[in-house]
Amino acid sequence: MIANNFKMVFLSDMHLVHGKKFLGIDTFNSFKAVVDHILQFHSDLDCLLIGGDLIQDQKKESFDFFKSQIDRIVSPKLYARGNHDLSDSFFSNLDTNNGKFSYDNWEIIRVDTYSKGNIYGEVDIDNLNKIATVLNKIKDKHFILFMHHNLFLTSSPWLDVHITKNKDEVLRIISKIKNIKLVINGHIHQETKVEYKGITFVSSPSTSIQFTSNQENFKLDDIFPGYLIVSLDKKGNKKIHCQRVEGSFGVPEKNPETY
């Protein structure tokens, strides 16, 4: 049992579309249901991480709806930029904490994977080395990194072409950071967990459409939307729970075109 002195929530991939369903799912409704669930059961959270791909259709109504819902959660908020987050101004206005948050002896830091004009991710290695240099000088903290794109293959070839392009170099640098406990990403719309060189890497389900795992071609799953709850203590222990949110959000398309 972990002493829950620090609670963090991670949610990602809203893909909001105004006025119609997206690949069969009402993404406005599913996102609101996730926010409702967080407020009902985890209003005591200490930090909210948002993993990117916020707006699918780039319409003002969708931007406004996202802001109205996310503002209901009273907490420090950190944002990772996803490949669908095309508006520089909208993202910069959200990102008031500059991707960093400190709580007691925990440090949370964003790693940018956004690659303009591309679906895949890419990390600026010089920036990552600077982050690693700073963190390795800190002896009395535990570290969490979060990002949009994944660093491990998913066994779905159609999806794996959109991974972080320089993942091997990123993993090499991250694995040498002392006291790093957890790395969280969105992008792949499914829950995964990988233990690598003493570090836990997890991905989050989407608040919208879910991807079926281990598929040659693009396929949607009928699993409910969800998010992650991460509980931490001062000793560096962690407990990660994937929470699904039930509701009537539509029916995923059976033969969807690549979005």
- Which residues, other chains included, contact 69 with Cβ-Cβ below 8 Å and sequence gap of 6+? 31, 32, 35
What pLDDT was estimated at residue 17?
98
What pLDDT was estimated at residue 1?
40
What pLDDT was estimated at residue 3?
52
Whether the Cβ atoms of residue 228 and residue 241 lie closer than 8 Å to each other: yes
HEC assignment per residue over 118-179: CCCECCCHHHHHHHHHHHHCCCCCEEEEEECCCCCCCCCHHHHCCCECCHHHHHHHHCCCCC
Nearest partner of 154 among 199, 55, 221, 207, judged by Cα: 221
**Domains, in order of start, for the chain:** 6-244 (3.60.21.10)
CA distance 120 to 106: 29
Q: Which residue reads 């600077």 in tokens? A: 130
What would you report as the CA-atom Rg of the chain, rounded to the nearest whole angstrom? Answer: 17
Q: Which residue reads 């959200």 in tokens? A: 94
Distance spanning both ends of the chain, measured CA to CA: 41
Q: Print pLDDT tens along the chain (259 aa).
A: 455 589 999 999 999 999 999 999 999 999 999 999 999 999 999 999 999 999 999 999 999 999 999 999 999 999 999 999 988 888 888 888 889 999 999 999 999 999 999 999 999 999 999 999 999 999 899 999 999 999 999 999 999 999 999 999 999 999 999 999 999 999 999 999 999 999 999 999 999 999 999 999 999 999 999 999 999 999 999 999 999 999 999 999 998 987 7
